[in-house]
Structure 1
Amino acid sequence: MNDRTPECWNLLDDNAAAIARIFGQTIPRPLRELGSERARALANTEAPPEPITPLNQVDQLTMSTRAGAIAARLYRADGATGGDFAPAVVYLHGGGFVLGTLDGADELCRGIAAGSGWTVVSLEYRLAPENPYPAALHDCVDAFAWLIRNAPELGIDPDRIAIAGDSAGGNLAAALCLHRRDAGLPLPRTQILAYPAVDDTFTAPSWTEFADAPLLSAADARWCWEQYVGPNHPGGDQFAAPLRAASLRDLPPALIVTAEVDPLRDDAEAYAARLWRDDVPVILTRYPGVFHGFLSEVTLFPQAKHAIDEICLYLREFAQR
């Protein structure tokens, strides 16, 4: 970070501002200047040696897709909701389509499983730029279908599977819902999207207001998008940018979480508004004083704990419907 603190940083609470300064020292150059390999080395988070949230069952899975096998991780809490066949939520990690690992989402998935009683299945989809769009979406679509087929063997109710994700994972979760709706396939029971990347126009006010936000600047977010879709993508594709869909009708109910200081904030909130206008039940919560990526930093942000509690309550209530 340069000597001038961006004005938008004044909206951060003291804790988030301190964390932003630490991140700025850990990742001293913009992601777009580092490139994908160096950015992964600096920014990807490893799981702690001892988990903060212990669970009796954490299993490694391999799922079949059209491009081959992908890794996944299953988390099941004690006394899981639903008896022999529990509801499950498929979780798609963030990272701008370029970064992110199962380990980086490990504590978040543990917290959701422990707090909700739902089984959580976290996917290791392929990353860009080595695997550009639609590779990651194909992985998620195929893995979701695989989970439905194999659910009983895993102690999961195939009729009660939800989808969730943050950032790029939120994009993929929303796109998966659109894909299954348009294909006439059974939909996820609900969708949980944390600051999802849903538009490719980059014109909402937050792209300017929070251009110099911590961790993910507007320029870095656009660079990540370019790695994902490649240089010749025409834009306007609803499965790449779900906000561009002509209609959001008949999609699953949604919980959408946003961060106050985030270039993606207005796009995510516009997606919530579109869902509401198209008669899809939606809950939108903006968390003040924090920046993009806060949800997966469970040990750093009190707001992450509050958001996980909100997600868990939402899932517990949804399981009773």
Structure 2
Amino acid sequence: MNNDAPAWWNLLDDQAAAVARMISQALPRPIRELGPVHARALMNTAPPAEPITPLDHVEQLTVPTRAGAIGARLYRADSATSSRATPALVYLHGGGFVLGTLDGADELCRAIAAGSGWTVVSLDYRLAPENPYPAALEDCVDAFAWLTRTAPELGIDPDRIAIGGDSAGGNLAAALCLHRRGSALPVAQVLAYPAVDDTFTAPSWSEFADAPLLSAADARWCWEQYVGAEHPGGDHLAAPMRAESLRGLPPTLIMTAEVDPIRDDAEAYAARLRGEGVPVSLTRFTGVFHGFVTEVGVFAQAKQAIDEVCLYLREIARA
């Protein structure tokens, strides 16, 4: 890079720097200037013809919600004829509430299912701005409730269902746990660089304002698409950090990227959970930027993160 490169550039490893260059060349304008339709056309990519992680069983599902049916995809490493009920992870893809598909999380979900022995159910919730808050959360809440009811039919243990997601999906996973507090909670939450705060004031928002893939300005634009530009803030189911208390939430794994505007918010959420008695495991992955977890086969840190998720889920299952 030239002498005008931002200070954080030297924090990226060689692979991340190369990918950052590719992103800057592929996007003619920032996401907020492209708008939802053009951004989706450019960024919502199909999975490869041959998956990196082949599985015995991948099944398309239709899940009923209060607003109608949504799509889902079930991944299982065991044979579909296995008689043993498995624990399950409900996975919510990222994309700033505006972008993202089941295909974008396909390789990640395959790798988690294969490495953990858990069934993974990936949800295709409604996107903003066409369906603003709380549409996506309602889809996730309804789908989770449906899965707990129908788990035996799907070969899933209804008492061992966890929730997880990356970025906006991490927000929705955290909000779902807050929504279900006082009833049957997920057995764990797995959050990759979750968007949990709507104040945008932590130091990382300035330090990495122009970071690759997700700049601070694009992140705020995505938030406005989700909640609306006039949203007053303070709603803990939109921004989980706003909750008066985090006590009683399930054990939590949080993973962050070093070069990411969201980093400090996610790590502050981990600290607050731990301070309020929730068992928390937190890992910051150095050398990478927001979105790395789903880039299976691209970043070494993605494999490291998946290995950590799989180990964590196996430990949860034993517990």
Question: What's the TM-score bracket when you normalise by the shorter of the two chains?
Answer: over 0.9
The TM-score, its normalising length taken from structure 2, stands at: 0.97
Residue by residue over 1:158-193, the C-alpha shift from the partner in whole angstroms, topping out at 9 and shown as x without a partner, is: 110000000000000000000000xx2200000000
- CA distance in 2: counterparts of 1:7 and 1:216, whole angstroms: 16
Q: Secondary structure at the match of 1:158?
A: strand
The match for 2:115 is 115
Partner amino acid, structure 2, of 1:180: R
Q: Secondary structure at the match of 2:224?
A: helix
Residue by residue over 1:141-171, the C-alpha shift from the partner in whole angstroms, topping out at 9 and shown as x without a partner, is: 0000000010000000011000000000000
Superposition map of 1:218-297 within 5 A: 218-297=216-295
Superposition map of 1:89-128 within 5 A: 89-128=89-128
Asked whether 1:190 is paired with 2:188, we answer yes
Partner amino acid, structure 2, of 1:265: R
Superposition map of 1:38-53 within 5 A: 38-53=38-53
Superposition map of 1:202-221 within 5 A: 202-221=200-219
Q: CA RMSD in A?
A: 1.5
Asked whether 1:316 is paired with 2:317, we answer no
Q: Secondary structure at the match of 2:257?
A: strand
Residue by residue over 1:215-266, the C-alpha shift from the partner in whole angstroms, topping out at 9 and shown as x without a partner, is: 0000000000000001221101100000110100000000000000000000
- CA distance in 1: counterparts of 2:214 and 2:2, whole angstroms: 15
Asked whether 1:138 is paired with 2:135, we answer no
Distance 1:2 1:10, change over 3 A: closer
Residue by residue over 1:91-111, the C-alpha shift from the partner in whole angstroms, topping out at 9 and shown as x without a partner, is: 000000000000000000000
The match for 1:175 is 175
User: Which stretch has the larger CA shift, 281-290 or 19-28?
Assistant: 19-28
Percent pairwise identity: 77
Asked whether 1:26 is paired with 2:35, we answer no
User: By how many angstroms is 1:45 displaced?
Assistant: 2.2
- CA distance in 2: counterparts of 1:249 and 1:83, whole angstroms: 36
- CA distance in 2: counterparts of 1:28 and 1:279, whole angstroms: 46
Q: Secondary structure at the match of 1:151?
A: helix
The match for 1:15 is 15
Runs of 5+ consecutive residues of structure 1 not aligned to the other structure:
none
Residue by residue over 1:64-94, the C-alpha shift from the partner in whole angstroms, topping out at 9 and shown as x without a partner, is: 00000000000000279x9611000000000
The match for 1:75 is 75
- Whether the aligned pair in 1 keeps the contact of 2:60 and 2:73 (CA below 8 Å) is yes
Partner amino acid, structure 2, of 1:51: P
Superposition map of 1:144-163 within 5 A: 144-163=144-163
- Whether the aligned pair in 2 keeps the contact of 1:79 and 1:117 (CA below 8 Å) is no
User: By how many angstroms is 1:6 displaced?
Assistant: 2.1
- CA distance in 1: counterparts of 2:148 and 2:43, whole angstroms: 33
- CA distance in 2: counterparts of 1:30 and 1:10, whole angstroms: 22
User: By how many angstroms is 1:37 displaced?
Assistant: 0.4
The TM-score, its normalising length taken from structure 1, stands at: 0.97
Partner amino acid, structure 1, of 2:215: S
Partner amino acid, structure 1, of 2:203: P
Q: Secondary structure at the match of 2:96?
A: coil
User: By how many angstroms is 1:288 displaced?
Assistant: 0.1
Q: Secondary structure at the match of 1:51?
A: coil
- Whether the aligned pair in 1 keeps the contact of 2:128 and 2:226 (CA below 8 Å) is yes
Q: Secondary structure at the match of 2:147?
A: helix
- Whether the aligned pair in 2 keeps the contact of 1:71 and 1:123 (CA below 8 Å) is yes
User: By how many angstroms is 1:4 displaced?
Assistant: 3.6
- CA distance in 1: counterparts of 2:212 and 2:65, whole angstroms: 35
- CA distance in 2: counterparts of 1:142 and 1:239, whole angstroms: 15
- CA distance in 2: counterparts of 1:300 and 1:6, whole angstroms: 23
Q: Secondary structure at the match of 1:298?
A: coil
**Moved beyond 6 Å, runs of 4+:** none
- CA distance in 2: counterparts of 1:267 and 1:301, whole angstroms: 23
- CA distance in 2: counterparts of 1:83 and 1:178, whole angstroms: 33
- CA distance in 2: counterparts of 1:84 and 1:109, whole angstroms: 20
